[in-house]
Structure 1
Amino acid sequence: MLETRKLESSIAGTQILRGADLVLAPGRTVGLIGRNGAGKTTFMRSVMGLLRPDGGEILIDGTDMTREPAHTRAAMGVGYMPEDRRLIPEFTVEQNILLPLNALGEDIDRSRLDWIYELMPEIGRFADRRALALSGGQQKLVALGRALIVGRKLLLLDEPFEGVAPALAQRLIEVIGVLRGEGLSVLLSESDHVHSADLVDGLYVIERGEIEKKAAETA
Protein backbone atom coordinates (compact mmCIF):
# COMPACT_ATOMS: atom_id res chain seq x y z
CA MET A 1 0.00 0.00 0.00
CA LEU A 2 2.90 2.33 0.77
CA GLU A 3 6.53 2.07 -0.24
CA THR A 4 9.33 4.61 -0.11
CA ARG A 5 12.63 4.02 -1.87
CA LYS A 6 15.77 5.97 -0.97
CA LEU A 7 13.63 8.92 0.08
CA GLU A 8 15.53 12.13 0.75
CA SER A 9 14.03 15.39 2.01
CA SER A 10 15.38 18.68 3.34
CA ILE A 11 14.04 21.59 5.34
CA ALA A 12 15.56 25.05 4.85
CA GLY A 13 18.59 23.52 3.16
CA THR A 14 19.25 20.98 5.91
CA GLN A 15 18.92 17.35 4.86
CA ILE A 16 16.55 15.44 7.15
CA LEU A 17 15.73 12.16 5.39
CA ARG A 18 18.66 10.13 4.16
CA GLY A 19 17.70 7.31 1.82
CA ALA A 20 14.63 6.29 3.81
CA ASP A 21 13.15 2.92 2.79
CA LEU A 22 9.85 1.69 4.21
CA VAL A 23 7.22 -0.83 3.11
CA LEU A 24 3.67 -1.04 4.44
CA ALA A 25 1.64 -3.94 3.09
CA PRO A 26 -2.15 -3.74 2.56
CA GLY A 27 -4.15 -4.27 5.73
CA ARG A 28 -1.13 -3.98 8.03
CA THR A 29 -0.27 -1.58 10.85
CA VAL A 30 3.35 -0.50 11.06
CA GLY A 31 5.11 1.68 13.62
CA LEU A 32 7.76 4.30 12.89
CA ILE A 33 9.69 4.90 16.11
CA GLY A 34 12.21 7.67 16.75
CA ARG A 35 13.10 10.39 19.18
CA ASN A 36 12.09 14.01 18.62
CA GLY A 37 13.99 15.43 15.65
CA ALA A 38 14.75 12.03 14.14
CA GLY A 39 12.68 12.75 11.01
CA LYS A 40 9.28 11.15 11.69
CA THR A 41 7.18 14.19 10.82
CA THR A 42 9.36 15.02 7.82
CA PHE A 43 8.78 11.49 6.55
CA MET A 44 5.02 11.78 7.00
CA ARG A 45 4.87 15.19 5.35
CA SER A 46 6.97 13.96 2.44
CA VAL A 47 4.69 10.97 1.87
CA MET A 48 1.67 13.27 1.98
CA GLY A 49 3.14 15.66 -0.59
CA LEU A 50 3.36 18.54 1.89
CA LEU A 51 7.13 18.55 1.49
CA ARG A 52 8.74 18.00 -1.91
CA PRO A 53 11.40 15.27 -1.69
CA ASP A 54 14.91 15.91 -2.96
CA GLY A 55 15.23 12.37 -4.23
CA GLY A 56 13.86 8.86 -4.10
CA GLU A 57 10.38 7.52 -4.75
CA ILE A 58 7.00 7.39 -2.99
CA LEU A 59 4.62 4.68 -4.17
CA ILE A 60 1.03 4.60 -2.90
CA ASP A 61 -1.04 1.60 -3.93
CA GLY A 62 1.53 0.98 -6.68
CA THR A 63 1.33 4.50 -8.13
CA ASP A 64 4.33 6.82 -8.16
CA MET A 65 3.22 9.85 -6.15
CA THR A 66 6.66 11.40 -5.60
CA ARG A 67 5.93 14.61 -7.50
CA GLU A 68 2.17 14.70 -7.20
CA PRO A 69 0.53 17.54 -5.21
CA ALA A 70 -0.78 16.90 -1.71
CA HIS A 71 -4.49 17.04 -2.54
CA THR A 72 -4.25 13.99 -4.81
CA ARG A 73 -3.74 11.72 -1.79
CA ALA A 74 -7.29 12.17 -0.49
CA ALA A 75 -8.77 11.01 -3.78
CA MET A 76 -6.69 7.83 -3.43
CA GLY A 77 -8.16 7.04 -0.02
CA VAL A 78 -5.24 8.35 2.05
CA GLY A 79 -5.90 10.13 5.36
CA TYR A 80 -3.41 12.06 7.48
CA MET A 81 -3.50 12.97 11.16
CA PRO A 82 -0.74 15.52 11.89
CA GLU A 83 0.94 15.64 15.28
CA ASP A 84 -0.43 19.11 16.06
CA ARG A 85 -3.98 18.21 14.94
CA ARG A 86 -4.40 21.34 12.75
CA LEU A 87 -8.08 21.81 13.51
CA ILE A 88 -9.81 25.09 12.70
CA PRO A 89 -10.81 26.39 16.17
CA GLU A 90 -13.93 28.27 15.09
CA PHE A 91 -15.29 25.33 13.09
CA THR A 92 -17.48 22.72 14.73
CA VAL A 93 -16.33 19.15 15.17
CA GLU A 94 -18.37 18.05 12.17
CA GLN A 95 -17.13 20.91 10.00
CA ASN A 96 -13.54 19.94 10.81
CA ILE A 97 -14.17 16.30 9.99
CA LEU A 98 -15.79 17.16 6.67
CA LEU A 99 -13.14 19.69 5.70
CA PRO A 100 -11.21 17.38 3.30
CA LEU A 101 -14.40 16.62 1.35
CA ASN A 102 -15.35 20.27 1.18
CA ALA A 103 -11.86 21.23 0.03
CA LEU A 104 -12.08 18.68 -2.77
CA GLY A 105 -15.62 19.72 -3.71
CA GLU A 106 -16.89 16.19 -3.09
CA ASP A 107 -20.33 15.22 -1.84
CA ILE A 108 -20.67 14.40 1.84
CA ASP A 109 -20.77 10.65 2.45
CA ARG A 110 -23.23 10.53 5.32
CA SER A 111 -22.79 6.80 5.83
CA ARG A 112 -19.04 7.28 6.27
CA LEU A 113 -19.62 10.10 8.75
CA ASP A 114 -22.11 7.98 10.70
CA TRP A 115 -19.55 5.15 10.79
CA ILE A 116 -16.97 7.53 12.28
CA TYR A 117 -19.46 8.61 14.95
CA GLU A 118 -20.21 4.97 15.73
CA LEU A 119 -16.49 4.25 15.98
CA MET A 120 -15.94 7.26 18.25
CA PRO A 121 -19.30 8.14 19.85
CA GLU A 122 -17.58 10.64 22.14
CA ILE A 123 -17.05 13.00 19.20
CA GLY A 124 -20.47 12.27 17.77
CA ARG A 125 -22.00 13.58 20.99
CA PHE A 126 -20.43 17.00 20.50
CA ALA A 127 -20.50 17.21 16.72
CA ASP A 128 -21.92 20.74 16.91
CA ARG A 129 -19.37 21.99 19.44
CA ARG A 130 -16.58 24.26 18.25
CA ALA A 131 -13.13 22.70 18.21
CA LEU A 132 -11.68 25.37 20.50
CA ALA A 133 -13.94 24.13 23.30
CA LEU A 134 -12.41 20.64 23.26
CA SER A 135 -9.55 19.21 25.29
CA GLY A 136 -6.32 18.24 23.55
CA GLY A 137 -7.23 14.57 23.67
CA GLN A 138 -10.68 15.19 22.24
CA GLN A 139 -9.10 17.20 19.45
CA LYS A 140 -6.91 14.20 18.65
CA LEU A 141 -10.04 12.10 18.17
CA VAL A 142 -11.53 14.74 15.88
CA ALA A 143 -8.30 14.87 13.86
CA LEU A 144 -8.50 11.09 13.52
CA GLY A 145 -12.10 11.40 12.36
CA ARG A 146 -11.04 13.94 9.74
CA ALA A 147 -8.35 11.53 8.50
CA LEU A 148 -10.89 8.72 8.34
CA ILE A 149 -13.45 10.65 6.27
CA VAL A 150 -11.13 10.23 3.26
CA GLY A 151 -8.72 7.55 4.55
CA ARG A 152 -10.45 4.45 3.29
CA LYS A 153 -7.23 2.63 2.36
CA LEU A 154 -4.25 4.21 4.09
CA LEU A 155 -3.85 6.23 7.30
CA LEU A 156 -0.76 8.15 8.40
CA LEU A 157 -0.94 8.97 12.11
CA ASP A 158 1.84 11.24 13.34
CA GLU A 159 2.41 10.92 17.11
CA PRO A 160 -1.25 10.11 17.88
CA PHE A 161 -0.54 9.57 21.60
CA GLU A 162 1.66 12.64 22.15
CA GLY A 163 0.38 14.98 24.87
CA VAL A 164 -2.73 12.89 25.56
CA ALA A 165 -3.96 11.90 29.01
CA PRO A 166 -3.61 8.15 29.76
CA ALA A 167 -7.35 7.48 29.51
CA LEU A 168 -7.61 9.09 26.07
CA ALA A 169 -4.41 7.40 24.95
CA GLN A 170 -6.03 4.08 25.82
CA ARG A 171 -9.11 5.12 23.88
CA LEU A 172 -7.01 5.91 20.83
CA ILE A 173 -5.34 2.52 21.14
CA GLU A 174 -8.77 0.87 21.15
CA VAL A 175 -9.92 2.80 18.08
CA ILE A 176 -6.74 2.09 16.10
CA GLY A 177 -7.09 -1.56 17.07
CA VAL A 178 -10.58 -1.60 15.53
CA LEU A 179 -9.22 -0.06 12.34
CA ARG A 180 -6.90 -3.04 11.93
CA GLY A 181 -9.99 -5.19 11.54
CA GLU A 182 -11.38 -2.84 8.87
CA GLY A 183 -8.61 -3.73 6.42
CA LEU A 184 -6.95 -0.31 6.58
CA SER A 185 -3.21 0.09 6.20
CA VAL A 186 -1.91 2.23 9.05
CA LEU A 187 1.47 3.89 9.60
CA LEU A 188 1.81 5.45 13.04
CA SER A 189 4.79 7.26 14.48
CA GLU A 190 5.77 7.38 18.12
CA SER A 191 8.79 8.49 20.13
CA ASP A 192 8.93 5.08 21.80
CA HIS A 193 7.12 1.76 21.57
CA VAL A 194 4.99 2.13 24.72
CA HIS A 195 1.51 2.63 23.26
CA SER A 196 1.85 0.88 19.92
CA ALA A 197 3.49 -2.36 21.08
CA ASP A 198 0.30 -4.41 20.77
CA LEU A 199 -0.97 -2.60 17.67
CA VAL A 200 1.73 -3.04 15.06
CA ASP A 201 2.55 -5.91 12.72
CA GLY A 202 5.96 -4.45 11.91
CA LEU A 203 8.34 -1.88 13.27
CA TYR A 204 10.77 0.61 11.79
CA VAL A 205 13.17 2.81 13.72
CA ILE A 206 14.24 6.19 12.36
CA GLU A 207 17.42 7.89 13.54
CA ARG A 208 19.01 10.96 11.94
CA GLY A 209 16.77 10.52 8.93
CA GLU A 210 17.73 6.91 8.28
CA ILE A 211 15.17 4.13 8.63
CA GLU A 212 15.93 0.60 9.79
CA LYS A 213 13.48 -2.27 9.87
CA LYS A 214 13.46 -3.85 13.32
CA ALA A 215 10.68 -6.42 13.13
CA ALA A 216 9.21 -8.32 10.21
CA GLU A 217 5.52 -7.99 9.48
CA THR A 218 3.45 -10.98 10.35
CA ALA A 219 1.73 -12.95 7.62
Structure 2
Amino acid sequence: MLVIDNISLSIQRVPILRDVSLEIETGTTCGLVGRNGAGKTTLMRSIMGILPVEKGRIQFNHMDLHTAKAHERAALGIGYLPEDRRLVPHFTVEENILVSLWATNTSDRSRLKWVYELMPEIGRFADRKAMTLSGGQQKLVALARALVTGSELLLLDEPFEGVAPALAARLMEVIGNLKSEKLTVLVSESDYTHSEKVVDKVYSIERGQITIANKDAA
Protein backbone atom coordinates (compact mmCIF):
# COMPACT_ATOMS: atom_id res chain seq x y z
CA MET A 1 0.00 0.00 0.00
CA LEU A 2 2.48 2.67 1.17
CA VAL A 3 6.22 2.31 0.68
CA ILE A 4 8.67 4.98 1.80
CA ASP A 5 12.16 4.24 0.55
CA ASN A 6 15.19 6.13 1.87
CA ILE A 7 13.69 9.62 1.76
CA SER A 8 15.63 12.62 3.03
CA LEU A 9 14.34 16.14 3.57
CA SER A 10 15.79 19.41 4.83
CA ILE A 11 14.09 22.62 5.92
CA GLN A 12 16.14 25.79 5.43
CA ARG A 13 19.19 23.57 4.86
CA VAL A 14 18.70 21.81 8.19
CA PRO A 15 18.36 18.01 7.71
CA ILE A 16 15.08 16.81 9.23
CA LEU A 17 14.56 13.36 7.70
CA ARG A 18 17.55 11.10 7.02
CA ASP A 19 17.11 8.03 4.81
CA VAL A 20 13.69 7.17 6.25
CA SER A 21 12.15 3.89 5.11
CA LEU A 22 8.95 2.15 6.16
CA GLU A 23 6.17 0.03 4.70
CA ILE A 24 2.49 -0.12 5.60
CA GLU A 25 0.46 -3.00 4.25
CA THR A 26 -3.11 -2.62 3.08
CA GLY A 27 -5.67 -2.63 5.89
CA THR A 28 -3.17 -2.33 8.74
CA THR A 29 -2.78 0.33 11.40
CA CYS A 30 0.77 1.48 12.11
CA GLY A 31 2.10 3.74 14.83
CA LEU A 32 4.84 6.32 14.34
CA VAL A 33 6.30 7.08 17.75
CA GLY A 34 8.78 9.79 18.62
CA ARG A 35 9.39 12.80 20.82
CA ASN A 36 8.57 16.34 19.74
CA GLY A 37 10.99 17.36 17.00
CA ALA A 38 11.81 13.77 16.02
CA GLY A 39 10.41 14.21 12.51
CA LYS A 40 6.88 12.78 12.76
CA THR A 41 5.05 15.80 11.37
CA THR A 42 7.66 16.36 8.67
CA LEU A 43 7.24 12.76 7.51
CA MET A 44 3.46 13.13 7.40
CA ARG A 45 3.77 16.35 5.40
CA SER A 46 6.19 14.75 2.97
CA ILE A 47 3.72 11.94 2.30
CA MET A 48 1.02 14.54 1.61
CA GLY A 49 3.28 16.58 -0.64
CA ILE A 50 3.28 19.65 1.59
CA LEU A 51 7.06 19.35 1.91
CA PRO A 52 9.12 18.08 -1.06
CA VAL A 53 11.58 15.25 -0.52
CA GLU A 54 15.18 15.71 -1.65
CA LYS A 55 15.89 12.09 -2.39
CA GLY A 56 14.25 8.70 -2.14
CA ARG A 57 10.78 7.68 -3.23
CA ILE A 58 7.26 7.36 -1.88
CA GLN A 59 4.95 4.83 -3.51
CA PHE A 60 1.24 4.42 -2.94
CA ASN A 61 -0.55 1.49 -4.57
CA HIS A 62 2.53 1.00 -6.75
CA MET A 63 2.35 4.61 -7.99
CA ASP A 64 5.17 7.13 -7.54
CA LEU A 65 3.60 9.48 -5.03
CA HIS A 66 6.57 11.79 -4.44
CA THR A 67 6.14 13.36 -7.89
CA ALA A 68 2.41 14.10 -7.45
CA LYS A 69 1.04 17.43 -6.23
CA ALA A 70 -0.66 17.62 -2.82
CA HIS A 71 -4.21 17.91 -4.17
CA GLU A 72 -3.57 14.98 -6.49
CA ARG A 73 -2.63 12.83 -3.49
CA ALA A 74 -5.92 13.62 -1.76
CA ALA A 75 -7.76 12.58 -4.91
CA LEU A 76 -6.11 9.15 -4.64
CA GLY A 77 -8.02 8.47 -1.43
CA ILE A 78 -5.50 9.79 1.10
CA GLY A 79 -6.88 11.64 4.13
CA TYR A 80 -4.78 13.76 6.46
CA LEU A 81 -5.42 15.01 9.99
CA PRO A 82 -2.76 17.65 10.74
CA GLU A 83 -1.47 18.12 14.26
CA ASP A 84 -2.98 21.63 14.51
CA ARG A 85 -6.35 20.59 13.01
CA ARG A 86 -6.39 23.45 10.43
CA LEU A 87 -10.15 24.09 10.65
CA VAL A 88 -11.67 27.26 9.21
CA PRO A 89 -13.03 29.01 12.35
CA HIS A 90 -16.01 30.74 10.73
CA PHE A 91 -17.09 27.69 8.71
CA THR A 92 -19.64 25.32 10.17
CA VAL A 93 -18.58 21.80 11.12
CA GLU A 94 -20.12 20.39 7.96
CA GLU A 95 -18.49 23.04 5.77
CA ASN A 96 -15.11 22.18 7.29
CA ILE A 97 -15.68 18.51 6.51
CA LEU A 98 -16.77 19.27 2.96
CA VAL A 99 -13.64 21.34 2.26
CA SER A 100 -11.83 18.15 1.34
CA LEU A 101 -14.52 17.28 -1.23
CA TRP A 102 -14.45 20.77 -2.68
CA ALA A 103 -10.68 20.57 -3.02
CA THR A 104 -10.93 17.37 -5.05
CA ASN A 105 -13.99 18.49 -7.08
CA THR A 106 -16.06 15.64 -5.67
CA SER A 107 -19.83 15.97 -5.46
CA ASP A 108 -20.58 12.54 -3.98
CA ARG A 109 -21.73 13.08 -0.39
CA SER A 110 -22.16 9.39 0.48
CA ARG A 111 -18.87 9.45 2.34
CA LEU A 112 -20.16 12.33 4.49
CA LYS A 113 -23.22 10.26 5.40
CA TRP A 114 -20.93 7.37 6.38
CA VAL A 115 -18.85 9.66 8.60
CA TYR A 116 -22.00 10.85 10.40
CA GLU A 117 -22.97 7.22 10.98
CA LEU A 118 -19.48 6.45 12.28
CA MET A 119 -19.44 9.51 14.57
CA PRO A 120 -23.05 10.52 15.36
CA GLU A 121 -21.87 13.32 17.65
CA ILE A 122 -20.46 15.13 14.62
CA GLY A 123 -23.87 15.23 13.01
CA ARG A 124 -25.41 16.68 16.16
CA PHE A 125 -23.27 19.81 15.96
CA ALA A 126 -22.87 19.93 12.17
CA ASP A 127 -24.37 23.45 12.00
CA ARG A 128 -22.15 24.95 14.70
CA LYS A 129 -19.18 27.16 13.85
CA ALA A 130 -15.85 25.41 14.30
CA MET A 131 -14.59 28.18 16.58
CA THR A 132 -17.31 27.36 19.16
CA LEU A 133 -16.05 23.80 19.68
CA SER A 134 -13.63 22.50 22.28
CA GLY A 135 -10.18 21.32 21.23
CA GLY A 136 -11.26 17.70 21.44
CA GLN A 137 -14.38 18.31 19.38
CA GLN A 138 -12.27 20.06 16.77
CA LYS A 139 -10.04 16.99 16.58
CA LEU A 140 -13.13 14.88 15.85
CA VAL A 141 -14.13 17.28 13.08
CA ALA A 142 -10.62 17.18 11.61
CA LEU A 143 -10.76 13.38 11.73
CA ALA A 144 -14.14 13.45 9.98
CA ARG A 145 -12.69 15.69 7.26
CA ALA A 146 -9.78 13.29 6.77
CA LEU A 147 -12.14 10.32 6.58
CA VAL A 148 -14.24 11.90 3.84
CA THR A 149 -11.31 11.75 1.42
CA GLY A 150 -9.29 9.01 3.14
CA SER A 151 -11.00 6.02 1.60
CA GLU A 152 -7.67 4.22 1.14
CA LEU A 153 -5.05 5.71 3.46
CA LEU A 154 -5.42 7.81 6.60
CA LEU A 155 -2.57 9.89 8.07
CA LEU A 156 -3.24 11.00 11.65
CA ASP A 157 -0.66 13.37 13.12
CA GLU A 158 -0.81 13.54 16.94
CA PRO A 159 -4.60 13.04 17.12
CA PHE A 160 -4.58 12.72 20.93
CA GLU A 161 -2.38 15.68 21.82
CA GLY A 162 -4.12 18.26 24.00
CA VAL A 163 -7.35 16.27 24.13
CA ALA A 164 -9.25 15.44 27.32
CA PRO A 165 -9.09 11.75 28.28
CA ALA A 166 -12.75 11.05 27.45
CA LEU A 167 -12.44 12.49 23.95
CA ALA A 168 -9.07 10.79 23.44
CA ALA A 169 -10.79 7.49 24.25
CA ARG A 170 -13.53 8.32 21.74
CA LEU A 171 -10.97 9.13 19.06
CA MET A 172 -9.25 5.83 19.72
CA GLU A 173 -12.57 3.99 19.53
CA VAL A 174 -13.27 5.48 16.11
CA ILE A 175 -9.76 4.67 14.86
CA GLY A 176 -10.13 1.11 16.14
CA ASN A 177 -13.43 0.72 14.27
CA LEU A 178 -11.70 1.58 11.00
CA LYS A 179 -10.11 -1.87 10.94
CA SER A 180 -13.43 -3.29 9.75
CA GLU A 181 -13.34 -0.81 6.84
CA LYS A 182 -9.97 -2.18 5.59
CA LEU A 183 -8.48 1.31 5.85
CA THR A 184 -4.72 1.68 6.05
CA VAL A 185 -3.79 4.02 8.90
CA LEU A 186 -0.58 5.71 10.03
CA VAL A 187 -0.96 7.40 13.42
CA SER A 188 1.77 9.39 15.14
CA GLU A 189 2.12 10.16 18.84
CA SER A 190 4.85 10.71 21.40
CA ASP A 191 4.26 7.17 22.65
CA TYR A 192 1.63 4.61 21.81
CA THR A 193 -0.23 4.77 25.12
CA HIS A 194 -3.51 5.49 23.35
CA SER A 195 -3.11 3.38 20.22
CA GLU A 196 -1.30 0.37 21.69
CA LYS A 197 -4.36 -1.90 21.46
CA VAL A 198 -5.09 -1.24 17.78
CA VAL A 199 -1.72 -0.86 16.03
CA ASP A 200 -0.29 -3.80 14.11
CA LYS A 201 3.21 -2.37 13.92
CA VAL A 202 5.10 0.49 15.56
CA TYR A 203 7.89 2.46 13.92
CA SER A 204 10.02 4.59 16.21
CA ILE A 205 11.58 7.76 14.85
CA GLU A 206 14.44 9.65 16.49
CA ARG A 207 16.35 12.62 15.05
CA GLY A 208 14.78 12.05 11.66
CA GLN A 209 15.66 8.37 11.43
CA ILE A 210 13.60 5.23 11.88
CA THR A 211 15.29 3.36 14.70
CA ILE A 212 12.95 0.46 15.48
CA ALA A 213 10.23 -1.43 13.66
CA ASN A 214 8.33 -3.41 16.27
CA LYS A 215 6.00 -5.90 14.59
CA ASP A 216 4.61 -7.26 17.85
CA ALA A 217 3.13 -4.07 19.26
CA ALA A 218 -0.50 -5.00 18.91
| TM-score of the superposed pair, with normalisation by structure 2 | 0.97
1:200 correspondence with 2:188: no
SS in 1 for 2:70: coil
Report the CA distance between 1:47 and its aligned residue.
Answer: 0.6
CA distance in 2, matches of 1:23, 1:29: 11
1:182 partnered with 2:181? yes
Partner residue, 1:91? 91
State the alpha-carbon separation in 1 of the partners of residues 112 and 103 from structure 2.
16
Query: Residue 139 of structure 1 aligns with which residue?
Result: 138
Counterpart of 1:13, as a letter, is R
Equivalent position amino acid for 2:105 in 1: G
Once the 2 structures are TM-superposed, how far is the Cα of residue 100 of structure 1 from its aligned partner? Answer: 1.2
Tell me the equivalent position of 1:168. 167
CA distance in 1, matches of 2:6, 2:111: 36
Give CA-to-partner distance per residue, 1:59-94, whole Å, 9 cap, x none: 011101112110011111100000000000000000
Partner of 2:111 in structure 1? 112
Cα deviation per residue 1:78-126 (whole Å; 9 max; x = unaligned)? 000000000000000000001011122221x222111101111111101
State the Cα distance separating 1:166 from its structure 2 match: 0.1
- Counterparts of 1:26-105 in structure 2, within 5 Å, are 26-105=26-105
> Structure 2: how far apart are the matches of 1:157 and 1:177?
13
CA distance in 1: counterparts of 2:26 and 2:18, whole angstroms: 25
* CA distance in 1 between partners of 2:38 and 2:198 (Å): 22
Alignment length (residue pairs) = 218
Q: CA deviation at 1:6?
A: 0.4
5+ residue gaps in structure 1?
none
Superposed displacement of residue 214, structure 1: 2.8
CA distance in 2, matches of 1:213, 1:153: 25
C-alpha distance in structure 2 between counterparts of 1:72 and 1:96, whole Å: 19
CA distance in 2, matches of 1:163, 1:113: 26
Tell me the alpha carbon deviations over residues 190-217 of structure 1, each in whole angstroms, 9 at most, x when there is no partner. 0012101101000100000001333127
Please identify, of 112-121 and 41-50, the stretch whose mean Cα deviation from structure 2 is larger: 112-121
Runs of 4+ with deviation above 6 angstroms: none
Which residue in 2 is equivalent to 1:19?
19
- Report percent identity of matched pairs: 60
Q: Deviations over 1:129-168 (max 9, x none)?
A: 1100000000000000000111000000000100000000
